[in-house]
Amino acid sequence: MFFQILTIYLILSYSNLYAQDNSLKRERIHLGPEINQNHISYEDEPDFSEIYRYSEQNHKEDTVETKFEPMPIVSYDSNTGFGFGAKAFLLNYLRYRESLDVIIFFSTKGEKWFRTVFSIPDFELRQGTVYPLAVDVLFDYDKFVAYNFFGVGNQSKFEDKEIYTRQLIETSAMFNRGFSELLVGQIGLKYKKIESWNFDSEGKLIQLLPDSNRTFLEYSSLYLNCRYDSRDSYIHPTKGVVVQADLEWSPDISWNSIHFYQWSFWVQYYSLVFFPATIFSARLGTMSIVGENLPIQLLIPIGSNRTLRGYPQDRFLDKSAALLNLEIRFPIYRRLGGIIGADFGRVWHSIDQFSLDDWHSNAVMGLRFYMDTYVVRVDVGISQETFGIYFNFGHIF
């Protein structure tokens, strides 16, 4: 399915470009013998509508440049080991302001990750605009041979680590509306299947009751999101505020092997603190999952690449969690930048137990390379227990 989606998109993209090129040749009006039509460009003729008979809408769409940004991946990650693969980002090849983001990744610790996201219009192009409908379609496959489990709760011990094999398949379709330049609503459907096996015969996981450690989970859910968003960019914001509430509900229906609801609330802040481009950024959020007999595969994790970067993947696990990330993002040279910051987090069995005691923390530093359509990220997080090195794409918030 992953490669079929990519193949169909590429075929449509190039056939559409070919058809538009022929259409432009037929529609070009006569300019007189003194003008060389083969050398007309945006710079030569700013009044583009006088050269080609476009509709107003098509003319607006064609101001978005078609882009293809590939990126080979050679990386090291504390959780996945040495990795290799590729990322490709295609923008506006169909001339509908759409984007296709594809990642293929393999690692020495047994991770196989395929991910594709198709958005129309693209996230960045619709940021801060009013639009009636935007659609995001995701397919994600992630098989991890050495997936971590340290136990449940905020006091779980590092030395209790055990590993198992976990495979995730997720698809989703999200429908968005920009009610104003600052207010966005989203509704969508998700399908997720999680399979787990290869448990340690002497570990804690295999001794858990079947409801607490399910080897097979499959469910569909409804997802709702409401967001106030004043960021000046989706990819690399320099100022603005985000206030976001999310709700996911997996109902008690026949084809769902589990039912629950999960909510989260996030606040993000960005501000230019030093000229020309030093940015203070902060994220604070809390999340909780509610349901009966929830297995460890559905509990909320913190630790690793996008949460506590000084701790390994799923270091702390429970039904509720809170997180605070602080970063100073600064320029180094041209497209290269850096960050310094800190991460803080904690889990609870219930959000009613929320407190400011016993939060885990780590320092973090990293590099950023700013492409036109995405950010390449390398982070090093250092905690009292260990350290983490991560290579990925996009700011963590």
For residue 72, with 0-12 CB atoms within 10 Å meaning exposed, 13-18 middle and 19 or more buried, which class applies?
A: exposed
pLDDT of 12 > 70? The answer is: no
In degrees and rounded to multiples of 5, residue 58 shows phi and psi of -65, -40
Q: Which residues contact 353 (CB under 8 A, 6 or more apart)?
A: 320
Decide: pTM greater than 0.85.
no
Which pLDDT belongs to residue 209?
Answer: 77
DSSP string for residues in 331-395: EEETTEEEEEEEEEEEEESSGGG--SSS-EEEEEEEEEEE-SS-EEEEEEEE-SS-EEEEEEES-
pLDDT of 199 > 70? The answer is: yes
Work out the percent of the chain whose per-residue pLDDT is above 70: 84
Q: How far is CA 213 from the centre of its chain?
A: 27
Q: Are 301 and 280 in contact (CB under 8 A)?
A: no
What tens digit of pLDDT does each residue of 150-164 get?
999 999 999 999 999
What tens digit of pLDDT does each residue of 77-105 get?
888 999 999 999 999 999 999 999 999 99
Q: Is the preceding peptide bond at 121 cis, omega within 30 degrees of 0?
A: yes
* Range 293-308 average pLDDT: 96
Element (H, E) at 10: helix 2-27
Pairing relationship of beta strands 375-382 and 240-250 according to DSSP bridges? unpaired
Looking at 49-58, 228-237, 386-395, which range is the least confident one? Answer: 49-58
Q: If DSSP codes are grouped into helix, strand and coil, which group holds residue 204?
A: coil
DSSP state of 80: T
CA distances from 286 to 179, 260, 262, 268, 346 (A): 25, 17, 11, 12, 10
What does pLDDT average to over the chain?
87
pLDDT of 31 > 50? The answer is: no
Residue 234 banded pLDDT, cuts 50, 70, 90: very high
What single letter denotes the amino acid at residue 129? Answer: T
SS3 content of the chain, % helix, strand, coil (to 5): 15, 50, 35
- Taking every pair of Cα atoms in the chain, the longest distance, rounded to a whole number of angstroms, is 85
Q: Are 329 and 278 in contact (CB under 8 A)?
A: yes
Phi-psi region of 97 (alpha: psi -120 to 50; beta: other; left: phi over 0): left
pLDDT of 7 > 70? The answer is: no
- Residue 244's CB is within 10 A of a number of other CB atoms, namely 17
List residues bridging with 322 in a β-sheet: 286, 346
Residue with tokens 């690449």: 305
What tens digit of pLDDT does each residue of 307-341 get?
999 999 999 999 999 999 999 999 999 999 999 99
Residue with tokens 């590993």: 163
Domains of the chain: residue spans and CATH:
2-30+64-393 (2.40.160.50)
Name the residue with higher pLDDT: 397 or 24. Answer: 397
For 183-206, b/e burial (b = at least 16 CB within 10 A) is ebebebebebebbbeebeeeebbe
What's the rounded Cα separation, in Å, for the pair 361 and 156?
15
